[in-house]
Amino acid sequence: MTGDAPTDDLPTEDAPGSDSFVERVLEVVDAIPAGRVMTYGDVAATLGSRAARMVGQVMAYYGSDVPWWRVVRASGHPAVNHEHIALQHYRAEGTPLLGGGSAPYRVDLRAARVGAPEPRRDARNHSSDR
């Protein structure tokens, strides 16, 4: 026995946690069009993975240089503790939103999710905009 770790335990190039996985997540997020979103699970599925939580970790550690606000939770809510700054981006991009006022807002996934029909840009998107 040589003391080396078995090769079965080493991450593959595209495994969650590998540099390639990080790069691929960031490439997918960078390609999300303005005004559109993907969930963490959508990003993982695009990569042929089910590692939505790992996508969240990638975004937390490396996502500051890509449009991070375009990746939302399955409920349509933005990243925790980033709601205020995300809202500024959503309004600037015309991202369709639900709620607001006394209720927390969230992204309208039916209208804004990548793969959904293009949202109308002339419509008001948020109840607080009225």
Locus of tokens 């793969």? 115
Q: Would the pLDDT of 81 be above 50?
A: yes
Are residues 53 and 39 in contact, defined by beta-carbon separation less than 8 angstroms? no
pLDDT at 100: 76
Are residues 21 and 15 in contact, defined by beta-carbon separation less than 8 angstroms? yes
Give residue-wise pLDDT tens across range 33-43. 999 999 999 99
What is the pLDDT confidence band of residue 71, given thresholds at 50, 70 and 90? very high
The residue count of the chain comes to 130
Alpha carbon dihedral 60, 62, 68, 74, in 10-degree steps, equals -40
- What's this model's pTM, rounded to 2 decimal places? 0.77
Locus of tokens 């927390």? 104
